[in-house]
Structure 1
């Protein structure tokens, strides 16, 4: 491998850029390997700060400062380390991460004023020396956008991570400079006021593809005393429906009531569900929010939406009927991960909705690899449709049953059917099965299943059942036996 030319080495190292242990070992092979891997490591050196050791990064950056500045900082009691530079490291840098860099700067002095002086010099240095900044994390307070060189260095910015505590004018400046950002991640830490600058920044983008919003605050105030921090943002996001393909939302909420829908009495979360009606080009949709209101107006509109490009759908809590509407035209769907299904208390509604859900997956989502499915009634129609699903979805790797329905007196019938149909029809790709507490598995049925699974790839089993911990430990002995025989890969009970 040391004889490989630089082009081949570069392609190899590019593929392994997330493997920091490997990349750092390459530095010691020979000079050619070192010269090839340094530009990759220094594209975003802050992600490797643990491997580099922060003191090393600090000394490299300080070495770029002029002698006059070093002398000035030394007189202030700031630690100055002189190091000869083998490479022009900062010429490779395309990433600025304020949080990590400020942590590195703290090595120079514990005094707040001295750290301020270092920030002034080092951020000015980075803006001058880094040819162009592609990734910027400004979850901090230093105003890096104001040096004269900032406009040239930041106008090609591709990814921005920020929080809502930053001064609104700072975002206005960014909006003027950076209009080609493809990925925006906003950490919402401002509970009291809306940061209108974030809205303006989003509005000015011309090719926004990825948007992530994360609430990170403690609820210290009553909702009715606060400004609405969401509606303005989500309304302007609708202007990017043609380009937006990844949407990730994580809202702060707490259920402390019996009826999940009562949470809307405290705050109106419908801005999210109605915004989603506009995002028809999404490939990835991740939602952690209160359950959507189940009203006729929204459901009728949802029925008309077609997420034809959707590949991954992750939702914390959703009505079965609504998720069925969302995936019915998603022919590219590979992952459907639902933490909890909801349904009306009417058994007839659940019967129909769960049956339609299975049919939808079977008829439209034959590329599915990771599937969450509600425990369904022990009806002949459900059994037939589920068997069709397994036959059709031959790429299925993970099958996760979620507790949603319990039919007293028929649990043993369901367990026999489920394990038998998995043996007969499940794809050879199936590697993971998750079983909730309301599917009761007898020791005999489970042993029969594992015996018949022999010859297939080892399967990981996840159970949520306390009855496995019997006094005689018979279930655990069974699992240990089939782990030794490599029928079971992992077991979690």
Structure 2
């Protein structure tokens, strides 16, 4: 029998990279197969190969050069006796991704103990040698989480180690400006940049951002709300990448001014999260609203807002899109006591978003009238969630069964694609309207029908019985009342 082409073997085994059990079997075929499989295992499954992280850490420490071992021994850092005394058969570290900070901590804690102080000199020196080990050996990896004060770019091998970075997560409180400036000379092909806890302008980070040629995805994560600052230069640097950035995750509590938003002309996806109360973030919300009102994202496809309900500004954004919006989501947390213009938002979506598939939004009962045009114009709508504002400005919602109007509108429009619906309990629904609604879906069926209920005031046992009846009859596949 002819021998299988070597390139074919490599391709086949690469296709099995997620099947660890089969890969382990391939290891035993012969030396050639072993040479193919080992790099794959260490690239995709390094932390699962040995069954325990302790065994893995011992293998990693076996690569420390003898000079380093002697240095550590001289400062009374004793390495485990279980590390290999002879060099391993493969340079495993050259195959694996750069470790997460938690794994570096795990290696240090295994040697110095779990409760060692991170400010201890021994901790710093051991951490330095472990990072040096990976920087000197890792090649062509794509992802790095930089959460250490160690000057990674000054270690031997840094230019090779970091040249192919695709994604960088960074906490500027750790990385010093000079190290980031050196990184800007090495790494110019970042696709994803994630920034955590940025409390002040950071010239090294500005240089790194400016060096990127095709930065497409930007994540700005939550800061401690008590650490207020102003990162004007960082905002300007991000604005200079407005032509390439296509995805944005923005936690509202951060110190980078929102002014860069107006430069993101090619944005396709935006997520804005507010994890704090409205009172705590009043200033940030005010600034955000100011820049959202004058921003234009014509290519927008995905919009998600959590804890922020700036309906007027959202409506303006929708009005300036080109019809590509597929997902529009506003989370159940209102973020503000009084909300207006829910109808205007639905009206703009019905006019400017013919391709929308998923819509989650708040609505006042007086704006139910706009739902009909939404269903008529958005023929690809698949999932719909309407939340009640449930505040004192909604006096009409206290009327019994005001939700019947909404059910009748949904029943009257035969939108074939719509098969997932969630409504608020707060409007109230009569048994008759509920039955008419389900009967209208008898021919096409619903994948899910849910009612968001907190008070169990309007939804009675009779309502639940009707819903269960239609689930048993196959009109609804799933409901939260089953």
TM-score category, normalised to shorter length? 0.7 to 0.9
Within 2, Cα distance between the matches of 1:50 and 1:370? 41
Question: Structure 1 unaligned runs (5+)?
Answer: 18-22, 254-268
Within 1, Cα distance between the matches of 2:111 and 2:170? 25
The 1:218/1:319 distance shift into structure 2, 3 A limit, reads closer
Within 2, Cα distance between the matches of 1:327 and 1:50? 49
Within 2, Cα distance between the matches of 1:181 and 1:420? 51
The 1:271/1:294 distance shift into structure 2, 3 A limit, reads closer
Superposition map of 1:188-227 within 5 A: 188=197, 190=199, 193-217=200-224, 219=226
Shift of 1:285: 0.9
Which is further off, 334-343 or 306-315?
A: 334-343
Q: Which residue does 1:375 correspond to in 2?
A: 363
The alignment partner of 2:238 has SS state of helix
User: Which of 259, 262, 271 is the matching residue for 2:257?
Assistant: 271
The 1:326/1:131 distance shift into structure 2, 3 A limit, reads same
Q: Which residue does 1:398 correspond to in 2?
A: 383
The 1:439/1:25 distance shift into structure 2, 3 A limit, reads farther
Within 2, Cα distance between the matches of 1:423 and 1:11? 48
Q: Which residue does 2:64 correspond to in 1?
A: 65
Within 1, Cα distance between the matches of 2:473 and 2:39? 47
The alignment partner of 2:265 has SS state of coil
Q: Which residue does 1:178 correspond to in 2?
A: 187
Q: Is the 1:249–1:288 contact (alpha carbons within 8 Å) kept by the matching residues of 2?
A: yes
Superposition map of 1:144-293 within 5 A: 144-166=152-174, 167-188=176-197, 190=199, 193-217=200-224, 219=226, 228-252=229-253, 271-272=257-258, 274-289=259-274, 290=281, 292-293=285-286
1:323 and 2:314 aligned: yes
Within 2, Cα distance between the matches of 1:204 and 1:241? 14
Within 1, Cα distance between the matches of 2:223 and 2:230? 13
The 1:161/1:403 distance shift into structure 2, 3 A limit, reads same
Within 2, Cα distance between the matches of 1:185 and 1:86? 37
Q: Is the 1:127–1:153 contact (alpha carbons within 8 Å) kept by the matching residues of 2?
A: yes
Within 2, Cα distance between the matches of 1:119 and 1:125? 10
User: Which of 139, 142, 146 is the matching residue for 1:134?
Assistant: 142
User: Which of 5, 11, 29 is the matching residue for 1:7?
Assistant: 11
Which is further off, 393-402 or 28-37?
A: 28-37
1:57-106, Cα deviation, whole Å (9 max, x unpaired): 21221233346655775774221434585654323224342333222332
The alignment partner of 2:14 has SS state of helix
Q: TM-score, normalised by structure 1?
A: 0.76
Q: TM-score, normalised by structure 2?
A: 0.78
1:15-53, Cα deviation, whole Å (9 max, x unpaired): xx5xxxxx333334443798776545533657x569953
1:385-407, Cα deviation, whole Å (9 max, x unpaired): 42232233233232121334735
User: Which of 291, 297, 302 is the matching residue for 1:307?
Assistant: 297
The 1:492/1:25 distance shift into structure 2, 3 A limit, reads farther
Q: Which residue does 1:89 correspond to in 2?
A: 92
Q: Is the 1:479–1:491 contact (alpha carbons within 8 Å) kept by the matching residues of 2?
A: no
Within 2, Cα distance between the matches of 1:217 and 1:51? 38
Q: Which residue does 2:277 correspond to in 1?
A: none
Equivalences, count: 446
1:332 and 2:324 aligned: yes
The alignment partner of 1:359 has SS state of helix
The alignment partner of 1:208 has SS state of coil
The 1:393/1:92 distance shift into structure 2, 3 A limit, reads farther
Q: Which residue does 1:419 correspond to in 2?
A: 407
Q: Is the 1:436–1:465 contact (alpha carbons within 8 Å) kept by the matching residues of 2?
A: no
The alignment partner of 1:285 has SS state of strand
The 1:311/1:296 distance shift into structure 2, 3 A limit, reads closer
Q: Is the 1:319–1:341 contact (alpha carbons within 8 Å) kept by the matching residues of 2?
A: no
Q: Which residue does 2:447 correspond to in 1?
A: 458
Q: Is the 1:78–1:114 contact (alpha carbons within 8 Å) kept by the matching residues of 2?
A: no
